[in-house]
Amino acid sequence: MAPESQPMFDTDEIVLNMGPQHPSTHGVLRVVLRLDGERVVGSDVVIGYLHRGIEKLCENRDWTQIVLLTDRMDYVAAATNNVGYCQTVEKLMSIEVPRRARYLRTIMCELQRIASHCLWLGTHAMDIGAMTVFLYAFRERELILDLFEEYCGARLTYNSMRIGGLPLDIPPGWDKKVLAFCDIMDTKLVEYEQLLTHNRIWLERTKGVGVISAEEAVAIGLSGPPLRGSGVKHDIRKDEPYAAYDEMQFEVPVGEAGDTYDRYLVRIEEFRQSVKIIRQAIEGLPEGPITGKVPRLIKPPAGETYHAIESPKGELGYFIAADGKSTAPYRFRVRPPSFCNLQALPRLIQGHLVADVVALIGSVDVVLGEVDR
């Protein structure tokens, strides 16, 4: 069977199942790898293990009940999902949100971005072997969860937005605590970078791994930090500002090489920009109401819209069709950033070693609750 030129030892390709229960797949993700020795020559990503039918469920719930279902998608950045949904309904109903609510939404979104990136940094570094960073990053994430607990009583699934504004104003002294957290975060970021940015093992494991060019990244539908790591300056917070982002001063960091290291650098810089945005928003926090003029019965006129926001993972879009009669959306569709980013995984891991697959799953930063919905 083997041609004459083949070496004496057996060189068959083997198929390796990675997952669905594997500590480095961040949930229930299964990657079927076709290996030539240690090298990946083909792969198939199998998802759906966490499919709960959230879209179908939302089509059978009231407009107001959906907010807490959106929490269950990207559960490490639940408030961002809430904001995206509420803004889409507000767009359908042409509700104006008061300025104070828009500022508070900005603060929450950025706190969630830091929390999500902390989780990403900790798990990504631990996948590659840097145990310390995991403990450091989770320590800071805990502070954010405490802040949210004080605001709305929950630590993960906040249900923290309402159509037209917010359910509650911030408790007294909360803004001071957020500012104190910003100071802590500034110093801790230096620690993270000391541990990783110039660490020789980290550089070896991430530089030149999973390179994707800008054109390819756009074509395959990457968004968020993985897209910016390839040098495409696209951030919905800047390009189509929502909440109070048009009043904030911040930079959009982009990478050059499009490898795992640049995606890491982009996210580290996003930490800094988020802290900067939170400081501005707290300092400029206007007084006023926190809820706009919302009718008692929420029933948007018949029509369809697509609205996207920049979640920590990428472009989080909601496509909602209302029929104008019922108190539930006729069609509720989420464009999950993790799902679309994960699509690039087979392309990224092609030709790399099995150990790099672990690094690349971490580098794409997926949450399986959002991939499968």
Partner 1 sequence: MAEEPKAPASPAGTPSAKPAPAVRKPAAAVAPTGPVDPAPADDVEVPAWLVALQAAIPDGVTQLTYWVGDWTVIVPAGRLLEVGRHLHTGGFDFCSDVTATDWPLRAQRFDMIYALYSIRDRNRVRIKVRVGEDETVPSVCGLWPAANWLEREVYDMFGVNITGHPDRRRILMPDDWQGHPQRKDYPLEGPGELLMENPLDWLRLKQAAQEADIE
What's the rounded Cα separation, in Å, for the pair 291 and 289?
Answer: 6
Q: Which stretch binds partner 1 (CB under 8 A): 63-71, 73-81, 268-276, 312-320?
A: 312-320
- The residue (of 78 and 92) whose beta carbon lies closer to partner 1 is 92
- The residue (of 64 and 343) whose beta carbon lies closer to partner 1 is 343
363 torsion bin: left (phi>0), alpha (psi -120 to 50), beta (else): alpha
Do residues 16 and 24 lie in contact, with contact meaning Cβ atoms separated by under 8 Å? no
290 torsion bin: left (phi>0), alpha (psi -120 to 50), beta (else): alpha
258 phi and psi angles, rounded to 5 deg: 75, 25
Query: Least distance in Å: CB of 315 to partner 1?
Result: 6
What's the rounded Cα separation, in Å, for the pair 76 and 78?
Answer: 6
One of 284, 286, 303, 351 touching partner 1 (CB under 8 A): 303
253 torsion bin: left (phi>0), alpha (psi -120 to 50), beta (else): beta
- The residue (of 56 and 293) whose beta carbon lies closer to partner 1 is 56
Which residues within the stretch 167-196 sit at the binding site for partner 1 (CB under 8 A)? none
Half-sphere CA count of 324, side-chain side, radius 13 A: 4
Nearest C-alpha neighbor of 282 from the set 82, 110, 143: 110
Which residues within the stretch 123-152 sit at the binding site for partner 1 (CB under 8 A)? none
One of 20, 42, 167, 221 touching partner 1 (CB under 8 A): 221
Give the ranges where 43-130 is alpha helix by DSSP (H).
54-58, 66-70, 78-93, 99-128
Q: Convert 98-119 to b/e letters by CB count within 10 Å (16 or more is b).
A: bbbbbbbbbbbbbbbbbbbbbb
Q: What angle do CA 52, 24, 264 make, to 5 degrees?
A: 105
Which residues within the stretch 25-84 sit at the binding site for partner 1 (CB under 8 A)? 47-48, 51, 53, 55-57, 60
One of 36, 142, 149, 239 touching partner 1 (CB under 8 A): 239
- The residue (of 240 and 251) whose beta carbon lies closer to partner 1 is 240
Asked if 372 interacts with partner 1 (CB under 8 A), we say yes
Asked if 199 interacts with partner 1 (CB under 8 A), we say no
Residue 229: strand, helix, or coil: helix
- The residue (of 34 and 276) whose beta carbon lies closer to partner 1 is 34
- The residue (of 263 and 335) whose beta carbon lies closer to partner 1 is 335
One of 28, 76, 92, 209 touching partner 1 (CB under 8 A): 92
Asked if 17 interacts with partner 1 (CB under 8 A), we say no
Query: Least distance in Å: CB of 319 to partner 1?
Result: 6
- The residue (of 138 and 330) whose beta carbon lies closer to partner 1 is 330
User: In the block, which residue shows the tokens 């309904």?
Assistant: 89
- The residue (of 58 and 196) whose beta carbon lies closer to partner 1 is 58
Query: Least distance in Å: CB of 317 to partner 1?
Result: 6
What's the rounded Cα separation, in Å, for the pair 49 and 368?
Answer: 9
Residue 347: CB atoms within 10 A of its CB come to 14
Here's the x/- map for partner 1, 313-342, by CB under 8 A: it reads as: --x-x-x-x-xxxx---xx-x-x---xx--
- The residue (of 192 and 332) whose beta carbon lies closer to partner 1 is 332
One of 105, 162, 234, 313 touching partner 1 (CB under 8 A): 234
Taking only Cα atoms into account, the Rg of the chain, rounded to an integer number of angstroms, comes to: 22
One of 343, 353, 354, 355 touching partner 1 (CB under 8 A): 343
Interface with partner 1 by CB under 8 A: which residues? 47-48, 51, 53, 55-57, 60, 91-92, 94, 218-221, 223, 232, 234, 239-240, 302-306, 308, 315, 317, 319, 321, 323-326, 330-331, 333, 335, 339-340, 343, 372-373
